[in-house]
Structure 1
Amino acid sequence: MPRMLDVSDEVRAEIGDEEADRLLVGEDAPRSYDCTSCRTPGDPENDRTSTVLFVGEETAVLAFAHATCIPSQVVSVSEEQLQGAVRSITGDSPASSGGPAAPQNVAGGQAVLGITSGLILIAGELHPALVVEPTAPIARPGSDGPGDDFLPLLIEQGFIPVTDTSEVPTLLGGWSVLLAAGQLHAVLQPGNDGGGQVAWWQAHQALSVTDGWRNAVNKTQRVLIYAAPVGSIGQQPREDLLRDALDKAAAAGKLVAAAMPLAGTPGA
């Protein structure tokens, strides 16, 4: 009997008392699972296990995770994000090769961003990070000028200019990073008029991250997001070279950053 399974009140309210009770007595609980966060095996009879309900506009999917990775939560996502997460969980969609950078469309199709994942060492601790760099200058919406407003637009959203990469960026409220089935799906920002979160950046195909990156994010429950204008970072094949590029961008006044929690965790 899976006595170590946790069904939060929030999840129970969504799935109903009958289904929640069946899970708790073991009727509908899996004998084993791959943690939806770290992708390592779990056993609800021996491991403290959380139920995580991903809810889209039309679909809901119940997943399982180590309680040490993510608490039992309801995670609201767009239907497109949910279907992408389902494909990753079921293995129906091949993951990205996880190369150094992956250009993706910004929501609204206004620009193309390159996303690089890596570990950043700050005060002796490894932090999971994403480095965002457009492939071309980004103009302010409605502007037809040749300027690059990428950093000013992010600063207006709450990102902080970075002059020293040895300091952990401050937490940006309302933003979060969607990691499902151990893969990166989206960076979420607050919706308009107090609505739910919407995708600021969304992967067309789930992006793989390294085991070390997943282990670090499971420990910190936060991701550091660094952003720089086109031509500031480049595709760096090693994390030490990526850190050097970040240091140079910061020294040149071309780097902003923010810390974001994982979607579905406290603070998201």
Structure 2
Amino acid sequence: MPRMLDVSADVRAEIGDEEADRLLDGDGAPGNYDCTSCRTPGDSEQERTSTVLFVGEETAVLAFAHATCIPSQVVPVSEEQLQGAVRSITGEEPAPAPPAPEPAPAAPAAPAPASGRQATLGITCGLVLVGEDLRPALVVEPDGPIVRPGSTGQQDEFLTLLMEQGFQQVEDVNQLPVTIHGWSALLAMGKLHAVLQPGNAGSQAAWWQAHQPLPVSDGWRQAATKTRTVLMYAAPAGTIGQQPREDLMRQALEKAARNRILVAAAMPLAGT
């Protein structure tokens, strides 16, 4: 039976016309599925359904989502992350319940810390009230001073380096940050995988990548899916701290803004 599937040009280019037409005819496409975005049941025989292709270095996985949640698209992920997603899809590992906002250990940004050891960024996912709307936000804070690559000095240039990329100083947390081009937040299978920055020849590279995909709350994911935009705030080491609640995180952001040590940008949501 034909399915109400949306297959984007990018997905069709990856899987080929024959496979795309086979899916549209109902061969190989599930009737019932769990939406890869909102994780609730869907029915491709009754409602518009997006095909979402997760592509790793050696593996590709086709998933399905409500068309009202996300459009059909190709989502590039690392092979390790893709294998983790496969285990989650097949039920080999349970999806953890989203916790309160929690900082995540992460791979280093390009700059190195003043001590010369590997830089580690902590990222907290939380909802920030901007005007009258709750916005999905990432709050980034390194675990020590960040110096300019190649520099032998000890001066922390974390915020300066970000401002050179288009981030702007925050004067009022109630104002939306400027949109930055070429950056995006990668959400796959309902988890945060990476923050991407412009790479070579129009590509993107990981500015931050989680060692293990970071779960986000249902409210965070719904807000991100609705706006297709994520706000990213950044502050020097020791500014925000590991706040257990979103109201305390908001207070820390406002204090950092008053002290003129907070930068931010809005970026597109990539993936699901």
Task: Decide: shared fold, TM above 0.5.
Answer: yes
1:231 corresponds, among 229, 238, 246, to 238
> What amino acid maps onto 2:245 in structure 1?
R
Please show how residues 1-268 of structure 1 align to structure 2 within 5 Å. Answer: 1-92=1-92, 98=99, 100-107=102-109, 110-192=118-200, 194-264=201-271
- 2:206 match: secondary structure: strand
CA distance 1:188–1:158, shift in 2 (3 Å)? same
1:255 is displaced (CA, Å) by 0.6
Question: Cα distance, 1:54 vs. partner?
Answer: 2.0
Name the stretch that deviates more: 163-172 or 97-106: 97-106
Quick check: 2:187–2:271 contact (8 Å CA) kept in 1?
A: no
Give 1:22 deviation, angstroms. Answer: 1.3
Counterpart of 1:236 in 2: which secondary structure? coil
Cα distance, 1:172 vs. partner? 1.1
User: What is the CA-CA distance between 1:83 and the residue it aligns to?
Assistant: 3.6
Contact 1:35 1:181 survives alignment (8 Å): no
Amino acid at match of 1:137: P
**Residues of 2 paired with 1:217 and 1:2: CA distance?**
31
* Cα distance, 1:183–1:90 mapped onto 2, change above 3 Å: farther
Q: Deviations over 1:211-252 (max 9, x none)?
A: 111111111111111110001101111111111100010111
Gaps of 5+ in 2: 113-117
Q: CA deviation at 1:37?
A: 1.9
Q: SS of 1:201's equivalent? A: strand
Ranges in structure 1 where 5+ consecutive residues have no aligned partner: none
Specify whether residues 251 and 107 from structure 1 end up closer, same or farther in structure 2 by C-alpha distance, changes over 3 A only: closer
| Distance in 1 of aligned mates of 2:268 and 2:93 | 26
- TM-score where L is the length of structure 2: 0.89
Give me the whole-angstrom Cα distance separating, in 1, the residues matched to 2:83 and 2:204. 17
Q: 1:221 to 1:165 in 2, by over 3 A?
A: same
Q: 1:85 touches 1:185 (CA, 8 Å); kept in 2?
A: no
Contact 2:105-2:211 at 8 Å conserved across structures: no
Q: Which runs of 4+ in 1 moved over 6 A?
A: none
Note the C-alpha offset of 1:77: 3.6
Aligned counterparts of 2:238 and 2:90: Cα–Cα separation in 1: 38
User: What secondary structure, in the 3-state scheme, does the structure 2 residue paired with 1:240 have?
Assistant: helix
> How high is the sequence identity, in percent, across the aligned residues?
71
- What displacement does 1:41 show? 2.0
Structure 1 residues 122 and 141: alpha-carbon distance in aligned structure 2, compared to 1, 3 A threshold? same
Deviation of residue 55 (structure 1)?
2.3
Match of 2:115 in 1: none
Q: Is the 8 A contact 2:81 2:213 kept in 1?
A: no
Shift of 1:92: 4.3
Q: Distance in 1 between matches of 2:34 and 2:262?
A: 37
C-alpha distance 235-228 of structure 1, shift in aligned 2 (>3 A): same
CA shift for structure 1 position 183:
0.8
Q: CA deviation at 1:80?
A: 4.2
1:164-218 CA distances to partner (integer Å, 9 max, x unpaired)? 11111121111111111111111111112x2421111111111111111111111
Query: Whole-Å Cα distance in 2 between the matches of residues 174 and 216 of structure 1?
Result: 21
Query: What is the RMSD computed on CA atoms of the aligned residues?
Result: 2.0
Q: Which amino acid aligns with 2:15?
A: I
Deviation at 1:86, TM superposition (A): 3.5
